[in-house]
Structure 1
Amino acid sequence: MTLLPLQDQTCVVTVTYGERTHLLAQVLRAAFRCGAACAVVVDNGTPRPAQEALASLQDEFGADVLHVVRLAENEGSAGGFHAGLAHAARLRDMRFIWVLDDDNVPEENALSILLARWKRLGADERNAMMSFRADKRQYRKVLDRKTLHWIEPDAFFDFNLAHLWNGGKRKAAIREGCFELGVAAYGGFWFARSWLDRIALPPQHYHLYFDDYAFSQQIPAAGGHIWLCPDSRLHDIDESWRANRRAIHPWLDSGTEERRVFCTIRNRLWLERSLARSLTLHRLNMALYLLVKVIAPNLGTMLTRVGSAPAFLRRFRLIRRAFRAGLS
């Protein structure tokens, strides 16, 4: 294991659940090859076999290198990363935190590239960095369109009728080959540990989805910056539940767990409501998004699956409940 210089030491924070330690092991080994000094793994209510596998990993790397924080039950990504970052905040000998999902395998130079770009940006701890994940559509759009990925006021899931008259999406700043972000997902987010003394930990009541955005958006709000670094690459070794969107929108797919759909919609609304400047425009964008992005593209599929009408009806009821919860 090759460590970065002492003054640049980085701690990985990740959360695992279910029977995923075979994925986690690949992530940890790759992160340590990159130069990470230690890792905090949150055991998010895993079953006994996974706990035993985690114990074996801790034996392999050493308890001083691999810290395991066990939660009695699965508290979702929000509760898991809240616990992991709280533990990492107490590791005062670590200067940086690198947040990874338990299926994000970094390339061998991913961490050293982040550090090098951070130094070229001025070695300023107000700057946070983000590794690139090719499976993330929002990051591919940033590179292709040079637009800012953020929670845009009055937009709903980035859909904003105002783009017809306000010039469209805001352009991203570009410095040293890195692209400005307004929010960041957990997987690949690298920042100075000192930020954990200044901003709130992920909101546990989100449970799943957009708790990473609620956490990361505090950095730009406090005068910092987040920079997407395309040359620092992670590879996802487990397929996202959103990957089937070409067949049918995941909100309407009966194979998508209801909890995922509910939390996605509710939590996004929680985020957006706090930034809305015009409630009327925000509501209009919500209605148009449902019509243009969810209903219209999938109308043919729904009509050809007549036998699935009760299932689609249940889904629309679920979506309505999620909207009500997000707006209440």
Structure 2
Amino acid sequence: MSAGSRESVAVVIVTFNRAALLVGMLDALAAQTRRPDAVYVVDNASTDHTRAVLDARTDLPLHVTTTPENLGGAGGFHLGVSQAHEAGFDRIWLVDDDVVPAPDCLEVLMAQDEACLLSVREDRAGHLVEKAATHFDLRNPLAIKPKTRTVETDWGTRAAMPERVEIQNVAFEGFMVRREVVDTIGLPDPSFFIFYDDVDFALRSRRAGFRIWGVRDAVLVRQLDFDQQHDLAGWKGFYMFRNLFVVHFRYGENRLVRLKPYLIAAAVVALSPIRGGRAEAGNVIRAITSARSMRRVPDPGPPRR
């Protein structure tokens, strides 16, 4: 009997006003060949029919928390991972509400004897769209974006991948950790609100000596397109800028990399008349100020057992 078959596993889902997508995620969990022992759902104060969807699911071991206000993905995963860890589960699988795991996805992950694992995403047409970094460069100050290579760009198709690939950052869309990871580094940082909380958690894990493995045969189907990177002038743009800057401040491997957020901010402001306008310039100015207050890596707190 493998270690994974003896271990318990809890799923953590964060959702906000996406009841139709949540149905697909819950249907897929109910169809898993290795059923989860618990499913912790953090409903971020949804105003659609999310509650009715959850109340109807008597086929899953749901533990639902409806928050009084929207905590963001980061706050939701902080809460859900805390609940699953305190309940004593051996492994915790973090998934978003817009992905659908293949029927054997959880079984494939549980068969891997590793502390940190990542399901590999594809789109609804079956194309590989796994954007987890195979090289996340926090050493070169000339690298505008630290993610310089991904699973998708390295291999192109799932068939071309080896069985496991080492990953340097993750998305909280199919990321699995053993409880020892949380014992060592603490919980996801809720102060990110959205974006880069998963990157931060992966970087903390790797700094603590854990390796992260993407598992080729653990298939996760993403239901939405990747289009959020085009919203730099909107409210999400503030978090994209700020949290990218925080990652550089916290984990930049030299002084030049840690200074890079200031150069990016200056360039965005200088170019604002011909691209993002006042809104984007305002976002980046507020972002650099806020990011400075988040430069310290979170204290993991007292040992969790």
**TM-score higher than 0.5 here?**
yes
Residue in structure 1 matched with residue 277 of structure 2 by the alignment:
312
Overall identity of the aligned pairs, in %: 25
Letter in 2 for 1:324: T
Instruction: Tell me if structure 1 keeps the 8 A contact 2:132–2:168.
Output: no
- For 2:45 and 2:100, the matched residues in 1 are separated by 22
- For 1:207 and 1:22, the matched residues in 2 are separated by 23
Instruction: Tell me if structure 2 keeps the 8 A contact 1:11–1:36.
Output: no
**Distance change >3 Å, CA 66–CA 236, structure 1 → 2:** same
Q: 2:26 aligns with which of 25, 28, 37?
A: 28
Give the 3-state SS of the residue equivalent to 2:191 in structure 1.
helix
- For 2:265 and 2:289, the matched residues in 1 are separated by 16
Structure 2 residue 6 is the aligned partner of structure 1 residue 7: yes
**Distance change >3 Å, CA 318–CA 285, structure 1 → 2:** closer
Give the superposition deviation at 1:279: 3.1
- For 1:286 and 1:134, the matched residues in 2 are separated by 35
**TM-score of the two chains, using structure 1 as the length reference:** 0.71
- For 1:241 and 1:39, the matched residues in 2 are separated by 28
- For 1:234 and 1:220, the matched residues in 2 are separated by 23
Give the superposition deviation at 1:281: 4.7
Give the superposition deviation at 1:14: 0.6
**Distance change >3 Å, CA 284–CA 219, structure 1 → 2:** closer
Residue in structure 2 matched with residue 61 of structure 1 by the alignment:
59
Give the superposition deviation at 1:71: 0.9
Give the superposition deviation at 1:91: 2.6
- For 2:257 and 2:95, the matched residues in 1 are separated by 36
- For 1:151 and 1:30, the matched residues in 2 are separated by 35
Residue in structure 1 matched with residue 291 of structure 2 by the alignment:
326
Give the superposition deviation at 1:204: 1.5
Structure 2 residue 118 is the aligned partner of structure 1 residue 130: yes
- For 1:137 and 1:316, the matched residues in 2 are separated by 34
- For 1:209 and 1:53, the matched residues in 2 are separated by 26
Q: How large is the Cα RMSD of the aligned pairs? A: 3.4
Unpaired segments of 5 or more residues in structure 1?
143-147, 161-170, 304-308
Give the superposition deviation at 1:218: 2.3
Instruction: Tell me if structure 2 keeps the 8 A contact 1:184–1:217.
Output: no
Q: 2:245 aligns with which of 269, 275, 285?
A: 269
Which is helix-richer, 1 or 2? 1
**Distance change >3 Å, CA 239–CA 152, structure 1 → 2:** same
Instruction: Tell me if structure 2 keeps the 8 A contact 1:263–1:322.
Output: yes
Give the superposition deviation at 1:141: 7.7
Per-residue CA deviations over 1:64-110 (Å, capped at 9, x if unaligned) read x1111221110101111111001101232x32211100111011222
Residue in structure 2 matched with residue 85 of structure 1 by the alignment:
81
User: Larger C-alpha radius of gyration, 1 or 2?
Assistant: 1
Residue in structure 2 matched with residue 98 of structure 1 by the alignment:
93
Structure 2 residue 46 is the aligned partner of structure 1 residue 70: no
**Distance change >3 Å, CA 189–CA 217, structure 1 → 2:** same
- For 2:94 and 2:180, the matched residues in 1 are separated by 15
Residue in structure 2 matched with residue 232 of structure 1 by the alignment:
218
- For 2:147 and 2:82, the matched residues in 1 are separated by 34
Paired residues for 1:57-206 under 5 Å: 57=57, 60-61=58-59, 65-92=61-88, 94-116=89-111, 118=112, 123-124=113-114, 127-134=115-122, 139-140=130-131, 148-150=134-136, 152-153=138-139, 154=141, 155-158=143-146, 177-206=163-192
Unpaired segments of 5 or more residues in structure 2?
149-153, 155-160, 294-305
